[in-house]
Structure 1
Amino acid sequence: MDGLVQIAQKVVDAVSEILPFPISLSDEKGYIIGSTLPDRIGRQHPPSIEVLHKNQMIEYDEANIIDIHNVLPGVATPLVLDNKTLGVLGIIGPPVQVKPYANLVKKYVEMTWQETIQKQTKEFRTKTLETFAQYILLNDNVNKEKIKQYSSLFHLDYDVKRYCILINIGNSLLPDISNNFQIDLFKEQLLRMVVDVFECKDNYLGTFLNTEKIILLKPVNSEFEYASSLKKFHDKGMKLIESFRSLKINDVSIAVGNISRSLEDVSNSYDEAERLIEYGLNLGITPKVYSYHDWDLVSNILPKQINNDFLDKISFNLDMFIKSENYAELANTFITYCESELNVSKTAQKLYLHRNTLIYRLKKIEEITSLDTKSFQHCVVLYVALKQDTRVLK
């Protein structure tokens, strides 16, 4: 009934602009909750009680209302929602004149009422889904039974393997945030695009986590199926970026996390996707579609995974190198050398150096560090250590 209370006066005002007769709306207890005659609102309406009891339209002329308080001539008809009579429409005027309008106005009120209830139900489901996603992804400690209750509510299988796809759209929604109706429709459109691009059919959870992040928890039957999905992830991510760009959303980053056993631990997949986006953005890697299936991305991220304890242990080997006068130049030369497959000619070409100049620099590095620049095993250790140092030229 709350839906009718919220729209009652709005409906009355809308109808009164085109209907030449005053109208009223009563609730399921016979109290007037909307009327073109404001002083009647809040009063109990005897004809409405009779209509609710008989569940049929009743006509009231001057003769049969003379002894009834707060009643005007006209017709009153029940308002029905989902086969339940939950209110009454009254049209004031001579019954013979107002009766032809009764069914038309009744249908309009019921339709508006139904749309309002559906909109409220949809909004409630959307907000509840967002709350659920926030609960399982952003909390360190979650309650298994609570997750199962939510899963049942949204018809999700709790024990199915899933992985998280995270789409970050930055501040793209902020200019429109004041218009709730438009922003809700826009968010629905973006979610449909995500679901379509990543070919979700059922048992998935897709929602906004906040105004910047969209998450898709996609079910998967096996690790083999997950691996197959990763192979297609880059192309699908690029397709989604292009789709979003058509809607003037240009700042998009997408990442995929690892496979999780159930909804209870899917936050690990989300955290991994978030870290990938962070790494990718910090390293300036484009396009902004990130997964561990991308070996170029992995090779860039690897040095960031080396902990400080390991670096401390080898620091004595690097101390003199780091303190050398031409450290940045030599470090940049060495990194380019490694990324050129330890090929002197390729490195010299990339750095626009004479071959002899490059060889001189490599020998200088060997003198300072005692490593063999022709040994892959030696080079990879120094390469990883140098990639940690922000002073190294890009």
Structure 2
Amino acid sequence: MIRINLPKGQRKILKFIGEQSEKLGYSVYLVGGPVRDLLLGRTSQDIDIVCVGDAIKLAKKFRRKVKGKLIYHHDFPNATVKFRGGKIDFVTARREKYPRGKVGLPKVEKTDDIIVDLKRRDFTFNAIACDLIPTNFCDLIDPFGGLKDCEKRLIRILHPDSFKEDPTRIFRAIRFKMKLEFNLEHDTEKHLKRDLKYLKGLTHDRLWKEIKLCLKDGSSILKFLKDYRVLRVLKLNYPDDNFIERIDIGAVQFGVDYVNTYILALTEKKRPKSLGFDNRLSRQIEYVRKIDNKRLMNVEVVHELFYLEDYSLLYLFGKYPANSIIIENFFDNRGELKCELDGMTIKKMGVKEGPLVGEILNKIIELRWTGKITGKEDEVELVRKYFLGGKNDD
């Protein structure tokens, strides 16, 4: 029997979980990604526990031990315990049955067989369990050859219909290929290419969740998604390499999370209403599409830039390199562009209530943008000289 070496900090915790599980008459295992990462010599903060028994009852015992917080997941008898040392997910062993003939979430049932639970997983290297019961502590259960695939650095599905049942596994396969520097096993790659069409059956929520997870792994994932024709099947735009380079540089320079920036780039040719985004992101798409190189050269664009989230500004920085200095200046100076005068003060100075107040505020922002005025005294002088004096030019 092959055994695994656990880090000292985790070993003590997992021994306690195994001892408590044995007292309850349950079997319990460390499973999935944490086992894979340990086998590959990678650090893993995740601890995923599968309990053949009542996972919530076991989680309660652990919570009392560590004085942590118990979070229930009511869709299935699972729970998470958060404590000072991290968090642990406790999952009841289950089987999954996917609907026939369509893409959808599986029907879930309890099982008393850890092999059945492992069989529902995506790849062989994620279908390895580490026994935590004291008499078998750290023994590995590897019914599908995951250990050998780890050694050969291969990504292998457990059965030919895996991608058809759950097309999100296509994204995960590509992510693992990039992150772990593994290769897709021959038949796995063949089935992935065959089943790309099922990606179109995913709900908007599931699709964009997976794409965002991909992007969090780094912009390099975009080329993998392109090469495996994922972007083509989903009719998403591949940003050119210069754009990607500029976005990666700009994200560091301005301290911006670029995930939504790349969402804007991927969906350039899509109608916003067809994407299933929330109103906030949909509005950002509409805003950035109104701005082009010519518009960026107009001083009035400064008003529109204030409506943009940082990720949208970053998109414009990458999209229009000839005018990227304008976006750079806005990032650097936008705090100084806001008016020190407000509408109430302007009216007290003698300007009648109405559209003119808004025009004055807009003019102040434009002149701040061009550096012609810099402080409150300049703003007051502008109002007195050009708006109260009857002159309308600057």
TM range (shorter): under 0.3
Q: Which is higher, the Rg of structure 1 or of structure 2?
A: 1
Name the TM-score, length of structure 1 as normaliser: 0.27
Name the TM-score, length of structure 2 as normaliser: 0.27
